[in-house]
Chains A and B, each alone.
Chain A
């Protein structure tokens, strides 16, 4: 009996360990190309620091905006408040299934070749500016936020909201004191997934905002510039940074998940 259990455990452990090892080998393989000192030097360059700063700022802004705009829409979809909710959901999820470059190109056409688009561009200066980064990243990230939030709201039984209403809480207060805390796990996940996805966003950003040094140069765009310019040292530094940022973000995500589960908030 015990033997079988141990064999079973082995069947889970072996592939997990092998895959993790495989990932480590792949992720670190780039670094044998370059001297550590070159990487260190690039790390302190002004350009790379600019790219890190810009990436963090745009990703944070985009994740926050997507969350704020995601809550009412995801809630409406989860509770079936809007007639034709499925059509709405489909429309809002389309960018999720498109190659990011296609999203960027579509946005570029909109802002340069349509009347409302050009008007917006004139007002806010979007094409080939850092604001373009925000717009491009938003379109890529918003569908993810919507999905995760909707799942979260689905898991909150409306009976809790009903009780809250009868106890004197308005719809808005109920959202703040009951629905959001009960879906806090999903809200956190949505934010972090959006943040991580925005950090790595390249296709849509480069198409709409361009690859302009010290202007629209996020980590992925800086990486693109250094690789095409043959600057291997800074490329490696950027790759390392993106790995570290991704690692830290994902780890935080997992920690927060565990914490909200420990609080019993996740149970529906």
Chain B
């Protein structure tokens, strides 16, 4: 039995058709990651599974029970009877309740005694390490704490299905990294079937047992991440996610590091756990996000640092967009103004020389398809 089965799901929001025939499934105790850019329909998909929006066509089954069907007989099970728990992007902790009351909220809807509720709240609070903040109000918590409380509130009711909407979007990079591995360990320990939506490639790879890629309301790819690595990286998928995709050649392999050669990028070092897939001389696909590269006036590191020339400078809402020329490679990079000013200088103009550093741990590589 599948923990979740979605077939040919169509959902309208206002006048727009937001999901156009999406099908997917998740095994019990697995983590399904739905990866997609903004406005792909990720949140809408979760809302439809939770029963918050009503689709106009399709089928949704949770733990073998049909909760929505547009075919005869038509079925719509309201959200409170679906046994799913939702952790929305903005966490949505109830501001008029303490942390304890937030976690106890779902339990109070059941016929449980005060003691039973207390025991369950304490249990999840312990698992998530938030026993010390149970008396606080949500607005006194940090982003990471809020996320734990939202998770605790969802897990307390022991749902059949956990729905996570962009769980890390409100966190800075180091916290994000830590919470990612923590969450994965927790979900696996509890053995709870999870659907997580995100626009982050890294989140998807770190957590997903299966990754489904959603774009414009359609599923354009779906695979185990291992397959995504062992089999070729899907060009289209990476590119639509804003990645730069290059072809390169493996030069040699050291412990945990693959050294590559790519047009314009000599001796590119890539951190890789499974280095056995990369034989010297073989072809690799290299993918990285241009926004993850670091520009500076002086070289920042002695690895993966290349000289480049600024071709275009334009100002955007978030910072500065630069088109830079690295050998034969043109990169369009958007950087926040502050770091850019510190590392490169206040005045940027076309023709200036800069150094480009591509951190070894942000690069994804896979062997080329042999055909």
In the complex formed, the residue of B with least CB distance to A80 is: B14
The answer to whether B109 has its CB under 8 Å from any CB of chain A is: yes
Q: A159-B88, A264-B137, A264-B139 are in contact. Are A165 and B96 (CB under 8 A)?
A: no
Q: Looking at the complex, which of B44-52, B169-177, B207-215, B304-312 is the stretch in contact with chain A?
A: B44-52
Q: Are A182 and B88 in contact (CB under 8 A)?
A: no
When chains A and B are docked, how far (Å) is the Cα of A61 from the Cα of B53?
38
Q: Assess A263 versus B96: contact at CB under 8 Å? Given A166-B82, A167-B106.
A: yes
B-chain residues with CB within 8 Å of residue A115 when the two chains form the complex:
none
Tell whether A162 pairs with B50 under 8 Å between CB atoms, given A167-B109, A170-B80. yes
Given contacts A167-B157, A168-B110, A264-B137, contact A160 B79 (CB under 8 A): no
Q: Do the beta carbons of A169 and B139 come within 8 Å of each other? A: no
A177 CB to closest chain B CB, in angstroms? Answer: 8
Chain B nearest Cβ from A172, distance in angstroms: 11
Asked if A159 and B92 sit within 8 Å, CB to CB, the answer is yes
Flag if B95 contacts A162 (CB, 8 Å).
no
**CB pair A184 B84 closer than 8 Å:** no
Interface residue from B94, B139, B154 paired with A182 (Cβ < 8 Å): B94
Q: What residues of A have a CB within 8 angstroms of the CB of B50 in the complex? A: 162, 165-166
Interface centre among A159, A170, A177 (most CB of B within 10 A): A159
Q: Are A178 and B153 in contact (CB under 8 A)?
A: no
Q: Which residue of A has the minimal Cβ distance to B105?
A: A167
**A163 close to B (CB within 8 Å):** yes
On whether the beta carbons of A166 and B110 are closer than 8 Å, the reply is no
Taken residue by residue from 238 to 268, chain A's Cβ proximity to chain B (1 for < 8 Å, 0 otherwise) reads as 0000000000000000000000000111010
> Is residue B85 within 8 Å, beta carbon to beta carbon, of the partner chain?
yes
Residue from the list A157, A163, A173, A182 in contact with B109, Cβ < 8 A: A173
CB proximity to B under 8 Å, residues A113-162: 157, 159-160, 162
Interface size class of A (residues with CB under 8 A): 20 to 34
Cβ–Cβ contact A184 & B96, under 8 A = yes
User: Min CB distance, B48 to chain A, in Å?
Assistant: 12
Which residues in B have their C-beta under 8 angstroms from that of A173?
109
Question: Which of B52, B80, B110 counts the most A-chain CB atoms under 10 A from its CB?
Answer: B80
The docked-state distance in angstroms from the alpha carbon of A263 to that of B88 is 23
Indicate if the CB atoms of B96 and A181 lie closer than 8 Å: yes
Whether the Cβ atoms of B95 and A267 lie closer than 8 Å is yes
Interface residues of B in 86-137 (CB under 8 A from A): 86, 88, 90, 92, 94-96, 105-106, 109-110, 137
CB of A156 to closest CB in B, whole Å: 10
A267 to B92 CA separation, bound complex (whole angstroms): 12
* Residues from chain B with Cβ under 8 Å of A162 in the complex: 47, 50, 52, 79, 86, 88, 92
* Chain A: minimal CB distance from B361 (Å): 34
**Which residues of A have CB within 8 Å of B79?**
162, 165-166
> Contact at B51–A168, with CB atoms within 8 Å?
no
Assembled-state Cα–Cα distance A163/B80 (Å): 9
A173→B78 CA distance, assembly (Å): 14
User: Given the complex, which residues of A lie within 8 Å of B137, measured CB to CB?
Assistant: 264
Instruction: Knowing A168-B157, A264-B137, A267-B139, say if A160 contacts B80 (CB, 8 Å).
Output: no
Residues on B with beta carbons closer than 8 Å to the beta carbon of A181: 96
Q: In this assembly, does A64 line the interface, its C-beta being within 8 Å of a C-beta of chain B?
A: no
Residues on B with beta carbons closer than 8 Å to the beta carbon of A178: 94
For chain B, give the interface size range. 20 to 34
Known: A173-B109, A264-B139, A267-B139. A166 touches B86 (CB 8 A): yes
Q: Is the CB of A167 within 8 A of B52?
A: no
| Residues on the B chain within 8 Å of A226, using CB | none
Neighbour of A168 across the interface among B95, B106, B139, B163, CB < 8 A: B106
Contact residue among A166, A184, A267 (Cβ-Cβ distance under 8 Å from B80):
A166
Closest A residue to B138 by CB, please name it: A264
How many Å lie between the Cα of A178 and that of B92 in the bound state? Answer: 11
Chain A residues positioned under 8 Å from B90 (CB to CB): 157, 159
A157–B78 CB distance below 8 A: no
A112: interface (CB < 8 Å): no
Distance (whole angstroms) from the CB of B182 to the closest CB of chain A: 22
Assess whether A165 is in contact with B139, with CB atoms less than 8 Å apart.
no
A76 to chain B minimum Cβ distance, whole angstroms, is 17
- Does the CB pair A264–B80 fall under 8 Å? no
Residues of B within 8 A of A182 (CB): 94-96
In-complex Cβ contact of B153 among A157, A159, A167 (8 A): A167
Inter-chain CA distance A167–B95, complex, in Å, is 16
With a 10 A CB-CB cut-off, give which of B52, B78, B84 has the most chain A CB atoms: B52
Q: Encode contact with A along B127-167: 1 for CB under 8 Å, 0 otherwise.
A: 00000000001110000000000000110010100010000
Nearest-CB distance from B181 to chain A (Å)?
26
For B95, list chain A residues within 8 Å (CB). 182, 264-265, 267
If the complex has contacts A264-B137, A267-B139, are A166 and B94 also in contact, measured as CB distance less than 8 A? Answer: no
CB distance from B145 to the nearest CB of A (A): 16
- Find the B residue at minimum CB distance from A173: B109
Decide: A166 and B84 in contact? CB cutoff 8 A. yes
Please measure, in the bound complex, the distance between the C-alpha atom of A263 and the C-alpha atom of B86, giving whole angstroms: 25
A163 touches B110 (CB 8 A): no
Q: How far is the CA of A93 from the CA of B85 in the complex (A)?
A: 40
Q: Are B105 and A164 in contact (CB under 8 A)?
A: yes
Smallest Cβ distance from A249 to chain B, in angstroms?
Answer: 25
13 A-B pairs, CB-CB below 8 angstroms? A160-B92, A163-B86, A163-B153, A165-B50, A166-B51, A166-B85, A166-B159, A170-B80, A177-B105, A182-B95, A264-B138, A265-B95, A267-B139
Q: Given A169-B109, A173-B109, list of 17 further CB < 8 A pairs?
A: A157-B92, A159-B92, A160-B94, A162-B79, A163-B92, A165-B79, A166-B50, A166-B80, A166-B86, A167-B85, A168-B80, A168-B110, A169-B80, A170-B78, A263-B96, A264-B137, A265-B95
